[in-house]
Amino acid sequence: MYCSDDGNNERSPKTPLQNSMDQLGKQLSFYSFGVIIVIFVIGLIQGRNVLDMFTIGVSLAVAAIPEGLPIVVAVTLAIGVMRMAKRRAVVKKMPAVETLGCVTVICSDKTGTLTKNEMTATCVVTPEGRRAEVTGIGYVIDGGRCTYEGEVVMGYSHREFASIIEVGVVCNNATIVADSVIGQPTEGALVVLAQKTGLEGCRQHYKRVREVPFTSETKWMSVQCDQNGQSIFFVKGALDRILQLCDSYLGGDSTRKPLDDYIRQRISDGARGLGATGLRVLAMARGDSLQSLMLVGMVGMLDPPRPGAPDAISMVRASGVDVKLITGDSQETAQSIGSMLGMYCSPHDSCLSGAQIDGMSDQELELVIRQVAVFYRASPRHKLKIVKALQAIGEVVAMTGDGVNDAVALKKADIGVAMGLGGTDVCKEAADMILCDDDFSTMTAAIEEGKAIYHNITNFVRFQLSTSVAALSLIAASTMFHFENPLNAMQILWINIIMDGPPAQSLGVEPVDDDIIRQRPRNVRQPMLSLKLMVDILCSAAIIVLGTLYIFYREMSADNQITPRDTTMTFTCFVLFDMWNALSCRSSRKMIWQIGLLRFVHKSWKPDGVGVRTVISIQSRSTERKISAALWSMEVHCQA
């Protein structure tokens, strides 16, 4: 029996991203303190005031250390959880938010996730191959009927078809209320079929004594009934399993006939033909003993793909995420549905059965699993082997499930996804995320949010570090060239506390590019500070430093001395450069005018927000000299 861990008294562990951010903060602190110590020592050698250098050093230390990183990461993840909830994906565990953006393989159940889970019986087939067609869609009875060669099948008018329908409705626990099913959709379809043929009342003819429920291992269900003191077994399930229990079949003349190998093969071929059209085939049998049943026929059921599933699969595949279909249906049915979903399965190397998985070693499964698109006749224990094999070859796996036995596989997967409508409580408890509508398209949206969260955090890190590197480089350059420090301690602290706070937080919640889902999954082992990100940081910092030094040198050279106005102009230039830096950090792939300037202005620089307060603060509190309109014009011209 599965037992869930009681974690109510345990603190949630830090996510991998938070751990990497902590490590990043430690590394930056180490290097920043090294640069600050060098600046302090050079200043002392040059004979500068010890107190001034100490004050500048402390200010730089405060500005250089990204103390806001853990907070912004936590807030961004929390906002991501809220966004996913609006898109009907409930994230239970915070690590799932960031891991979603790393998923490389999605192992999805077929029924209910990729299909509607609205079973409709479309045909009734006898062991000798006679076929009655059933019209109607879903659980609505009106307008639906069963016909054979133009004749309506009603009651026991065609006994061979009635015998099949009778087994389906007696070996059944579902009921139909207001055109919806209470119970399993497969059983609901059989009840509707009985109602269309006027046979729903045959349940009352039998007194149920015992039931053997359907399991993913046996793949059949039976009920033992009593009729006038005689014990009768009614069994339904997968054809291959039912045939193992049968020694005879019901002939067209309503007599019991022996079931030899030729007849078995002919029946199996007929079932494969139904499966090739996407139908789920359910076999019906009855008898005095479970060891000697009589096959009475089959029912073909259609569970069509969800309307948005093929497009969702195509979208995630285009972004480098593989999708594998897992079902308990036959190979023919699984392949047909896979083709409808756009998986283009090959019968030779793209399908694998549960029995074949059982016959493979772990190493053998790892060698072939990348080429497999569909797993058929699979059970929850096969799901666990699939997850382990994929993880062993370096894949990041998301696994869906809805049953009690799926809980182990969901726990093992990097992202366990439970169904909110059809999932059991045990399954939901084991999962990292719950799909409220059981729709595969919702998982696609969740992956998009996971990528967006990491994208925003990267943009935030780029902005925060480029500002810190620029401040350190500016003071280091002025010290090396024996200039007066262009920024005083108060201005450095102001940049760190006021300037880097709200803009950086805005980057954490910035709406992402529409094509974010098309980006390939990130490597979980890739460090946050990639080579490209470091180049972007250094380029942004260099632009800020060079522009600020130009203003500083220009103002200082006017009278060959540093005045309060020179410091004010330098500080203002740094702040304005940093504002443009925040705008450019919104996207690593597009220019400012391509992503829309007004969107960020509305969020971070709106009239009642940061923008106006920034200008007012520059003009009133944090400068040594008021800035005239002409000087403001020159500053803006320098930015351009």
Q: Could you tell me the CATH superfamily of domain 120-302?
A: Calcium-transporting ATPase, cytoplasmic domain N (3.40.1110.10)
| pLDDT of amino acid 3 | 41
H or E segment and range at residue 29 = helix 16-45
Distance of alpha carbon 272 from alpha carbon 240, whole angstroms: 11
Q: Which of 111, 147, 152, 439 is nearest to 301 (CA)?
A: 111
- Report, as an integer, the average pLDDT of 180-205: 90
| pLDDT of amino acid 597 | 54
Residue 387 tokens, joined: 């997850």
| pLDDT of amino acid 612 | 43
| pLDDT of amino acid 221 | 95
| pLDDT of amino acid 609 | 41
From start to end of 139-228, where are the E strands?
146-148, 151-152, 175-177, 180-182, 207-212, 220-227
Band (18; pLDDT cuts 50, 70, 90): low
Residue 268 tokens, joined: 């199996």
| pLDDT of amino acid 589 | 67
Distance of alpha carbon 366 from alpha carbon 393, whole angstroms: 7
Q: Which of 50, 275, 283 is nearest to 163 (CA)?
A: 283
- Tell me the pLDDT tens digit for each residue of 275-286: 999 899 999 999
Distance of alpha carbon 271 from alpha carbon 300, whole angstroms: 9
Report the number of secondary-structure helices (H) and strands (E) in the chain: 24, 21
C-alpha distances in Å from residue 152, one per residue of 95, 139, 155? 58, 19, 10
Q: Which of 353, 297, 331, 333 is nearest to 132 (CA)?
A: 297
Distance of alpha carbon 194 from alpha carbon 244, whole angstroms: 26
- Which residue has tokens 């059809």? 422
Which residues are registered as beta bridge partners of 455?
A: none
- Tell me which residues are annotated as active site: 109
Share of the chain above pLDDT 90, in %: 26
- Report, as an integer, the average pLDDT of 228-239: 92
Distance of alpha carbon 391 from alpha carbon 103, whole angstroms: 11
**496 and 469 Cβ atoms separated by less than 8 Å:** no
Domain-by-domain residue ranges, the chain? Answer: 16-88+445-516+523-639, 98-115+306-438, 120-302
Residue 556 tokens, joined: 């200082």
pTM of the complete model = 0.77
C-alpha distances in Å from residue 232, one per residue of 36, 222, 240, 282, 291? 89, 10, 22, 20, 12
The CATH fold of domain 98-115+306-438: Rossmann fold (3.40.50)
| pLDDT of amino acid 1 | 41
pLDDT > 60? residue 632: no
- Report, as an integer, the average pLDDT of 628-636: 47
Give the list of residues 6+ apart from residue 66 with CB closer than 8 angstroms, or none: 24, 25, 28, 461, 464, 465, 468
Q: Alpha-carbon dihedral of residues 356, 358, 362, 364, nearest 10 degrees?
A: -20
| pLDDT of amino acid 16 | 58
**313 and 341 Cβ atoms separated by less than 8 Å:** yes
pLDDT > 60? residue 60: yes
- Report, as an integer, the average pLDDT of 321-327: 90
Residue 83 tokens, joined: 């966004």
Mean of per-residue pLDDT scores for the chain: 81
Q: Which of 17, 134, 91, 87 is nearest to 458 (CA)?
A: 17
> Reduced to 3 states, what is the DSSP secondary structure of residue 282?
strand
The verdict on domain 16-88+445-516+523-639 having CATH code 1.20.1110.10 is yes
Band (167; pLDDT cuts 50, 70, 90): very high
Q: Which of 356, 299, 348 is nearest to 132 (CA)?
A: 299
pLDDT > 50? residue 226: yes
> Between 535 and 609, where is the model more confident?
535
Q: How do beta strands 433-435 and 397-401 pair?
A: unpaired
Distance of alpha carbon 419 from alpha carbon 43, whole angstroms: 64
Give the list of residues 6+ apart from residue 447 with CB closer than 8 angstroms, or none: 100, 101, 103, 316, 321, 517
Least confident of 16-25, 381-390, 476-485: 16-25
User: Residues of 413-433 as b/e, b for ≥16 C-beta within 10 angstroms?
Assistant: bbbbbbbbebbbebbbbbbbb
- Report, as an integer, the average pLDDT of 411-431: 87
Band (242; pLDDT cuts 50, 70, 90): very high
**133 and 147 Cβ atoms separated by less than 8 Å:** yes
> Between 81 and 639, where is the model more confident?
81
- Tell me the pLDDT tens digit for each residue of 480-528: 777 777 877 787 778 777 666 677 677 777 777 667 767 888 877 777 7
Distance of alpha carbon 414 from alpha carbon 431, whole angstroms: 10
pLDDT > 80? residue 571: yes
Residue 273 tokens, joined: 């033909």
- Report, as an integer, the average pLDDT of 217-231: 89
CA 355 vs. chain centroid, Å, equals 29
Q: How do beta strands 415-419 and 433-435 pair?
A: parallel
H or E segment and range at residue 107 = strand 105-109
pLDDT > 60? residue 135: yes
Q: Choose from 346-355, 416-425, 488-497, 547-556 the range with maximum mean pLDDT.
A: 416-425
Longest dimension (CA), the chain: 117
Residue 252 tokens, joined: 């067209």
Distance of alpha carbon 18 from alpha carbon 30, whole angstroms: 18
Which residues are registered as beta bridge partners of 43?
A: none
